[in-house]
Chain A
């Protein structure tokens, strides 16, 4: 769709956790927009897949939710990071960094001939 990339398998959860860490409590729409903006609009999120993902994170105890009012006085459900979520974020981020680092080394390796 328009040359934009879909979210990679398994990274949506990490992005949600990271966004909640930097932004504080957010509602679903805000989260989605923020993720798209952070990616420099390179990602196009399917909003429909976001909500089951949020539910899963909540069931696993990484985030919690409560109803509140947004700045433009709308009722919305806000998500926030739990302690377990923060730990999970650190762990997953470290794993990703290692993975990308390794991949980078492969991609930059000089061709042998």
Chain B
């Protein structure tokens, strides 16, 4: 018992270290990209595609959420369905947010994204069944959190006063880029998880992995809420 706890904490620290070693990327966009976005006029499909894709591949909060979502999905059809719901959710709010010029506080949105990770980790532990006696609709949950993730993307895009010239095309390109990035990231996550599933350790460590997921989500919540009050 004591030994397994030790292992658990050791691994937790390791993964937590990996998670927080990249927070400088957080959801930020680097300076060169910033300059490009601020100065851009007109339609630039490929650059916006690239920025969207890069945003997803380096946006670890989206990735953590995806890990949670596909953790117990065994069939590729299910993976496809769930990811489609997530995509539908964040595409809607990304387009709506930017076109409608809706401003949502970035810290609060990112804190909710953190909560979505906590939610999914808890869900994966069977927490809702155990505590409340029922399982909330997992597809609906993915869709709703997708909506929040999209608002997060929209808020990030709005930080640069994008030129209205070619705005719709550029946002669409950005959104398609987001999907490409998500797909690429998903491939790696799926490969890793599917490989891991072949071993007994998958189920043995699933509790620990989802505990870590919750913990990572809580860190994001704490980080963003502190920023909300301090920044």
State whether these chains interact: no
Chain A residues proximal to chain B, CB less than 8 Å = none
Chain B residues proximal to chain A, CB less than 8 Å = none
